[in-house]
Amino acid sequence: MTGSFPEVPAMLSQNVPPTFFPRLVLVVTTLMSVVLIIRGLILPRVPKEPIKKRVLLTAGIVTAAILLMQPLGMLLTVSLLAVVMPMAWGERRYRRLVILALALPLAIHLVFTVALGIRFPLGLLAAFSS
């Protein structure tokens, strides 16, 4: 698909065409996949452990976060995820969780929204932004 991307004038591309990053991700993913296949063929088969409950819980939390992204918005969802995920993994230092829940979305907002101009879904925060 990157072959159909429109050409960007040289003065706007900053020496990096828009096709570069998608192609880089594709090449790196392909190389890593080949390494995994070769490794699987070479290494002896080891009986697999059953999937631990914590892995399933983590998958459920991530799925819930994806579903909550639109109604809650990116920043509130990340804040909630920054508390729920560590607690699911056994973290009980609540002061640190509160700091993480406030600092992580703030850092994401500053880097992506303020510095890079990327807009995330606002969700509930849309009512307060005008």
Structural domains in the chain (count): 2
Residue 47 placed within a domain: no
Q: Are residues 111 and 60 in the same domain?
A: yes
Q: Count other Cβ atoms within 10 Å, centred on residue 78.
A: 20
Task: Say what the pLDDT of residue 77 is.
Answer: 93
Q: Are residues 71 and 92 in the same domain?
A: yes
Maximum alpha-carbon separation in the chain: 60
Say which residue, 7 or 90, is predicted with more confidence: 90
Task: Say what the pLDDT of residue 3 is.
Answer: 64
**Helix orientation angle between 74-88 and 53-72, rounded to the nearest 10 degrees:** 160
Q: What is the pLDDT of residues 79-118, one digit of tens each?
A: 999 999 999 999 999 999 999 999 999 998 898 888 877 7
Task: Say what the pLDDT of residue 50 is.
Answer: 84
DSSP state of 122: -
Residue type, 25: V
Q: What is the pLDDT of residues 21-49, one digit of tens each?
A: 788 889 999 999 999 999 989 988 888 88
Domain range for residue 119?
53-127
